[in-house]
């Protein structure tokens, strides 16, 4: 299927592509229009083991790695970005934090439900006044007998409006310090409240909302990783999120390329297929090169991380995210151009691809922030 795939990865890609084509693609336009959670695909994704890709098999996971996670992210994004985001938020952001930082008891408690899809998770970093500057978060966890009490507001939280379990970062040291911790919070706990569900330009099938914590008690065993050392948890999580988002950007662009190439062979003007015009071929060629480069970068970075080589993780993860995001935006603009006026209507899926691309340059750390990280790493 692609030059960078091993035999196992080729098989994995074929399986996920079949799921994407048969089950996800037919619902993509509807969940976007209705802004509804992709429930049917969610259940099938659970059956295929895609909600806990890196989780150990003993806890219901697939026991695979980041490289396989990226293949899933890419193939789902190629047909429906909202489904890719929903599934990968669970598998990559929620499950992986528990796999990487949970005790065996915490893994046994949380992973089976997350992997079989009966529990929907979300991960909450961002706050109304703390976006790119995540360390300025104000959500606070105060020590009490037997646990912690959380107070604060999170916003822009993917799956927040439907989540059963929220992983919430909060300050456990001075308000202006970097001491944070990660807490697993049952969303039915007293003091946990869902705020607004946000209406969005794209990713409309992936619900996004606010979470409000008011004197919300969690027991000691809700802390994932060491108290106060949440920055390390956050950094590792952001790195793998960025590689996966890089894969999603590649997938979105690859999907837009498929749609545009098909249309270029069907649409005729001046007595010829528009694909026969070299200016159209140039657009397709540029997208193709971006997809191939992005896929290779993601494969290289994810394989290195899987092999335990984290020396270049920070810069490479940001490079994956930046390349994938910019590629997705540019590719969907050019792909829509190939559709002419029809591309601007909802009769073809390409306008959805374009709307879904914009947030890639914002979520998970903006393109500006990725450039800042890459620049800093180069000058270290
Ligand atoms: C659909 C969606 C889903 C999301 N899902 C989640 C989620 O599940 N969990 C979660 O915690 N968060 C989530 N987010 C939040 C997302 O990570 C933030 O939106 C993002 O980090 C940017 O923060 P901000 O929106 O507050 O923008 P700001 O930080 O206010 O940035 C505004 C502008 O200033 C620029 N800027 C800021 N600082 C600098 C700088 N130092 N140098 C140059 N430019 C700078 C930015 O690049 C941007 O262009 C989601 C957001 C969206 C829209």
How much is the pLDDT for 4? 75
What mean pLDDT is predicted for residues 123-144? 97
DSSP state of 365: S
Q: Which of 363, 367, 376 to mutate to test the pocket of ligand 1 (most atoms within 8 A of CB)?
A: 363
CA distances from 198 to 30, 42, 251 (A): 18, 21, 25
The alpha carbons of the chain give a radius of gyration, in whole angstroms, of: 21
Which residue's CA lies nearest to atom 38 of ligand 1? 132
- The answer, yes or no, to whether residue 1 has pLDDT greater than 60, is no
Tell me how far the alpha carbon of residue 368 lies from the centroid of ligand 1, in angstroms.
Answer: 10
How much is the pLDDT for 339? 98
The percent of residues above 70 in pLDDT, for the chain, comes to 99
Measured between alpha carbons, how far is 348 from 342 in angstroms, rounded to an integer? 7
How much is the pLDDT for 222? 97
CB atoms inside a 10 Å sphere around CB 307: 10
How much is the pLDDT for 355? 98
CA distances from 186 to 37, 97, 121, 164, 219 (A): 20, 16, 10, 6, 11
Tell me how far the alpha carbon of residue 235 lies from the centroid of ligand 1, in angstroms.
Answer: 16
Count of CA atoms in the C-beta half-sphere (13 A) of 347: 8
All domains of the chain in start order, with CATH: 7-119 (1.10.540.10), 122-228 (2.40.110.10), 231-379 (1.20.140.10)
The percent of residues above 90 in pLDDT, for the chain, comes to 96
Cβ–Cβ < 8 Å for 257, 288: yes
Which residue's CA lies nearest to atom 26 of ligand 1? 131
Q: Which atom of ligand 1 is nearest to the CA of 133?
A: 29
Which residue's CA lies nearest to atom 31 of ligand 1? 132
Measured between alpha carbons, how far is 341 from 364 in angstroms, rounded to an integer? 32
pLDDT band at 91 (very low <50, low <70, confident <90, very high): very high
- The answer, yes or no, to whether residue 230 has pLDDT greater than 90, is no
Measured between alpha carbons, how far is 208 from 161 in angstroms, rounded to an integer? 6
If one compares 312 and 4, the residue with the highest pLDDT of the two is 312
How much is the pLDDT for 235? 87
Q: Which atom of ligand 1 is nearest to the CA of 124?
A: 11
- The answer, yes or no, to whether residue 346 has pLDDT greater than 80, is yes
How much is the pLDDT for 5? 84
How much is the pLDDT for 232? 87
Tell me how far the alpha carbon of residue 102 lies from the centroid of ligand 1, in angstroms.
Answer: 27
Q: Which of 124, 126, 127, 211 to mutate to test the pocket of ligand 1 (most atoms within 8 A of CB)?
A: 126
Q: Which atom of ligand 1 is nearest to the CA of 158?
A: 8
Tell me how far the alpha carbon of residue 134 lies from the centroid of ligand 1, in angstroms.
Answer: 9
Mean pLDDT score across all residues of the chain: 97
Tell me how far the alpha carbon of residue 362 lies from the centroid of ligand 1, in angstroms.
Answer: 5
What mean pLDDT is predicted for residues 171-195? 96
| Marked catalytic residue, from 210, 241, 259, 334 | 241
How much is the pLDDT for 2? 67
Place of tokens 């960078």: 4
Instruction: Tell me whether residue 241 is one of the annotated catalytic residues.
Output: yes
Residues in contact with ligand 1 (CB, 6 Å cut-off): 123-126, 131-132, 156-158, 200, 203, 208, 359, 362-366, 368-369, 372
Q: Which atom of ligand 1 is nearest to the CA of 367?
A: 47
Tell me how far the alpha carbon of residue 361 lies from the centroid of ligand 1, in angstroms.
Answer: 9
How much is the pLDDT for 3? 67
Q: Which atom of ligand 1 is nearest to the CA of 202?
A: 1
Q: Which atom of ligand 1 is nearest to the CA of 126?
A: 11
Segment 231-256, tens digit of pLDDT: 888 988 999 999 999 999 999 999 99
Q: How far is CA 270 from the centre of its chain?
A: 43
Query: How many residues are listed for the chain in this entry?
Result: 380
Which residue's CA lies nearest to atom 14 of ligand 1? 156
Tell me how far the alpha carbon of residue 63 lies from the centroid of ligand 1, in angstroms.
Answer: 31
- The answer, yes or no, to whether residue 134 has pLDDT greater than 60, is yes
């Amino acid at each position: 299927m692609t030059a960078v795939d091993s035999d196992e990865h080729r098989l994995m890609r074929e399986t996920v592509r079949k799921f994407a084509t048969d089950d996800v693609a037919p619902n993509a336009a509807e969940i976007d229009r209705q802004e509804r959670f992709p429930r049917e695909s969610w259940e099938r994704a659970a059956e295929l083991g895609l909600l806990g890709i890196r989780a150990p098999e003993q806890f219901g996971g697939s026991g695979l790695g980041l490289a396989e996670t990226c293949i899933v992210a890419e193939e789902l994004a190629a047909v429906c970005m909202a489904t890719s985001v929903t599934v990968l938020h669970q598998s990559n952001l929620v499950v992986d934090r528990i796999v990487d930082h949970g005790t065996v008891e915490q893994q046994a408690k949380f992973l089976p439900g997350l992997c079989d899809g009966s529990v929907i998770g979300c991960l909450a970093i961002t706050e109304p006044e703390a976006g790119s500057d995540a360390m300025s978060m104000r959500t606070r966890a105060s020590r009490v007998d037997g646990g912690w009490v959380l107070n604060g507001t999170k916003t822009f939280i993917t799956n927040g409006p439907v989540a059963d379990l929220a992983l919430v970062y909060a300050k456990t040291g001075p308000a202006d310090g970097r001491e944070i911790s990660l807490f697993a919070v049952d969303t039915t706990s007293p003091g946990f409240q869902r705020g607004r569900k946000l209406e969005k330009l794209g990713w409309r099938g992936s619900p996004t909302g606010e979470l409000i914590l008011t004197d919300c008690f969690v027991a000691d065993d809700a802390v994932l990783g060491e108290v106060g050392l949440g920055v390390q948890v956050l950094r590792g999580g952001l790195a793998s999120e960025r590689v996966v988002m890089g894969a999603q950007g590649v997938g979105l662009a690859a999907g837009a390329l498929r749609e545009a190439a098909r249309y270029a062979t069907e649409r005729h003007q001046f007595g010829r297929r528009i694909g026969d015009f070299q200016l159209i071929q140039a657009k397709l060629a540029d997208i193709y090169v971006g997809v191939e480069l992005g896929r290779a970068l993601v494969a290289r970075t994810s394989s290195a991380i899987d092999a335990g080589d984290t020396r270049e993780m920070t810069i490479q993860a940001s490079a994956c995210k930046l390349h994938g995001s910019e590629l997705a935006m540019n590719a969907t603009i050019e792909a829509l151009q190939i559709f002419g006026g029809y591309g601007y209507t909802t009769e073809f899926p390409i306008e959805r691809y374009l709307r879904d691309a914009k947030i890639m340059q914002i979520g998970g750390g903006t393109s500006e922030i990725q450039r800042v990280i890459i620049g800093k790493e180069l000058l270290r």
